[in-house]
Amino acid sequence: MPSKLPPTFLMEYTLKINRGEPCIRNLLDSRKTATPLLLSIQPLSSISKKTTSPGGEGLAFIIAGNSTLPANSEGRWLGIVNSDPNGSPVVAVEFDKRKSDDQDLDDNHVGLDINGINSNASVYLTDFGFNISGGRDLRVLLQYDGQNLSVRVNETLVLSQRLDLYSYLPKKVFVGFSASTSNETQLNCVKSWEFSGTDIGGEGNLLWVAWIMIPVVILVLFIGVLFYLYRRTDPIEEDLEGAQRNIEDEIRRSDFAPKKFRFSELKQATGNFSPNNKLGKGGFGTVYNGSWGNKDVAVKRVSKKSNQGKQEFIAEVTTIGNLNHKNLVKLIGWCYERRELLLVYEYMPNGSLDKYIFCDEKASMVESRLNWEQRQNIIQGAAQALEYLHNGCQKRVLHRDIKASNIMLDSEFIAKLGDFGRATVETDVYSFGVLILEVVCGRKPGNKSEQKNYNNSIVNWLWEHYKNGKITAAVDSRMDENFVENEAERVLILGLACCHPNPHYRPCMRTVLQVLLGEVDPPEVPQERPSFVWPAMPPSFTQMDYSLKGSQLNTFTEIEGR
């Protein structure tokens, strides 16, 4: 078109764009009439016999968020945009016949432009045997199916590009053409064209939308009432929803929030929670091995039927997620989605301690029998973790569930404490004492033994050995006496001290760690196991086990029945 004429033509027609929907069914084409867009771009010299080489810039089909022509958009800008990078959103298919800058392919190409004149995708038309300025009609068909835009010239596919219009344009847009002749003379002709899309204008469409929306709204309200009634009879779901709100609030206030995962990520990481990836199952859920990035992780899927799953989840995400110690299993992230509560931990290749100390004596796996040095290191590692929770954190954390199955072992058999319970006042020291006896003796705390005095309790059984002066006879026989006797005696006496029936006589974890490191002697333990008396009476100050840190006196004085 001559330069004195308006370079842009936009229809007074709006188009609705939704993500992933084929809002433009047949762009610039009507299958009913079978008449695609006919373009003719000719230098005027071919008509007037006046040579004006090299001719104008070209022509473009545009979808724009604004019907007004951008200021200063003449010349190389094709009337699409100008030099302002924050202009109105626009997507265009350009038929360019001048190489205006280095980013243009040549003077005969088709390009897809998004919010700018530099094409996101472009092709040489010469490769397909077409010449924009050859003076011949070009039959162009543009189609968009909600995901891909295709450009056909004379029925030949020349360009196909993945495109999400929803990401670049508003829901209501204008469609039309724009062209530029720059300082030259050129005739840009659109001889005929058809367009079909999702029309949202007109009273007829509004009436049609109303007929659709009214029953939809009624159906949604009906479903909402049913869901409300279901929720009133489903207290577990209500608790889970409340847990999500609490967790979100707590994590937002945390300075070291663990990563929030999407359910789809964890589903893919665990092979759709395949039974082949199952690591174990407990009271609160099932743990799966997963692959995230370039490392293995352990994914705990909290059981929907667990009434305590919510409290467990809140405690581990909001409290344990902020802890950092070499002997604590690291919480990497969490997920709450689709009524699913999931926790993501670092993966422990050697699993839990219980399978090593409680394994069958007839088992053929030699590596399942821990030697004395490994057992000492495991006890010390667990003690360091528990001492950190009691005294090293800004706020004391009580584990509540110290047992062999909650002691995880990494590739070097370094102990890491995991699987926290609710943060309530419980006797962690007593549980740690039982753990010491389990590791050294290789016996479960409540199983009967061939020893006639086992009395269904490892604590009672060991106290009988201590009373008879044979405490080291309780050491795991699978070590074939390959242990240091006086070290084993110290550790077992410490375990009995931790299991004292009177909570006031139990050592604090700092003292426990000092004993394990050989810095102090273990507390004195009576030959006869004391009877439990309620209420438990505290000892005199001189008898109470204590430790000093600066000017602070730290004692473990919570009264607990066990």
Burial class (CB in 10 A: 0-12, 13-18, 19+), 391: middle
**Which residues make Cβ contacts (< 8 Å) with residue 369, sequence separation at least 6?**
356, 359, 478, 479
Burial class (CB in 10 A: 0-12, 13-18, 19+), 211: exposed
Q: Phi, psi (5° rounding) for residue 312?
A: -60, -45
Strand order across the 148-153 sheet: 156-162, 148-153, 138-144, 37-43, 186-192
Residue span(s) of the chain under CATH 1.10.510.10 come to 349-562
Whether 330 and 346 have beta carbons less than 8 Å apart is answered as yes
Strand order across the 278-281 sheet: 259-260, 331-337, 340-346, 295-302, 285-292, 278-281
Q: Which residues are catalytic?
A: 401
Q: Phi, psi (5° rounding) for residue 331?
A: -85, 115
Tokens of 560: 């607990």
Spatial CA neighbour of 15 closest among 195, 253, 270, 216: 195
pLDDT at 37: 44
β-bridge pairing 331-337 and 259-260: parallel
Tokens of 511: 């003292």
What is the three-class DSSP state of 215? Answer: helix
Residue span(s) of the chain under CATH 3.30.200.20 come to 234-347
Strands (E), 21-108: 37-43, 58-64, 90-96
pLDDT at 532: 58
Alpha-helix runs per DSSP H in 403-508: 428-441, 458-467, 485-498
Whether 415 and 550 have beta carbons less than 8 Å apart is answered as no
What is the three-class DSSP state of 321? Answer: helix
Find where tokens 């049913």 sit: 226
pLDDT at 25: 41
Question: What pTM, to 2 d.p., does this model score?
Answer: 0.48
Spatial CA neighbour of 383 closest among 330, 432, 337, 329: 432
pLDDT at 242: 58
Alpha-helix runs per DSSP H in 69-202: 165-168
Note the CATH number of domain 8-192.
2.60.120.200
Show binding-site residues for ATP.
300
pLDDT at 528: 86
pLDDT at 169: 84
Furthest-apart CA atoms within the chain: distance in Å = 123
State the CB neighbour count (10 A cutoff) for residue 459: 21
Burial class (CB in 10 A: 0-12, 13-18, 19+), 16: middle
pLDDT at 322: 76
Spatial CA neighbour of 166 closest among 62, 23, 60: 23
Q: How far apart are CA 334 and CA 344, in angstroms?
A: 6
Bridge partners (DSSP) listed for residue 90: 64
Q: How far apart are CA 2 and CA 432, in angstroms?
A: 91
Whether 460 and 447 have beta carbons less than 8 Å apart is answered as no
Q: How far apart are CA 250 and CA 129, in angstroms?
A: 65
Note the CATH number of domain 349-562.
1.10.510.10
Note the CATH number of domain 234-347.
3.30.200.20
User: What is the chain's pLDDT, residue by residue, as a tens digit (562 residues)?
Assistant: 333 344 555 554 445 555 555 444 433 333 333 334 444 443 332 223 333 555 667 888 888 887 777 877 777 777 778 777 777 788 999 888 888 777 788 888 899 998 888 888 989 988 888 888 777 788 888 888 878 888 988 889 999 999 888 888 887 788 888 888 777 666 777 777 777 665 545 555 566 667 778 888 888 888 888 887 776 655 555 555 555 666 667 666 666 678 889 999 999 999 999 999 998 887 678 899 999 888 899 998 887 776 555 666 666 677 777 788 888 888 888 888 877 888 899 998 888 888 888 865 544 444 457 888 999 999 998 889 888 888 877 666 666 667 788 888 888 888 888 766 543 333 678 889 999 999 999 888 765 444 444 444 899 999 999 999 999 999 988 888 888 899 999 999 999 999 888 888 888 889 999 999 999 999 999 888 887 554 455 554 334 343 333 323 233 333 333 4
What is the three-class DSSP state of 292? Answer: strand
β-bridge pairing 37-43 and 121-124: unpaired
Residue 68 Cα distances to 80, 197, 301, 421, angstroms: 10, 22, 56, 64
pLDDT at 255: 61
Show binding-site residues.
300
Whether 163 and 42 have beta carbons less than 8 Å apart is answered as no
Find where tokens 């006890």 sit: 379
pLDDT at 540: 46
Tokens of 449: 């033994």
Quick one: CA torsion of 340, 346, 347, 352, rounded to 10 degrees? -90
Q: How far apart are CA 465 and CA 475, in angstroms?
A: 11
Describe the crossing of helices 235-253 and 309-318 by its angle, rounded to 10 degrees.
10
Strands (E), 219-317: 259-260, 278-281, 285-292, 295-302
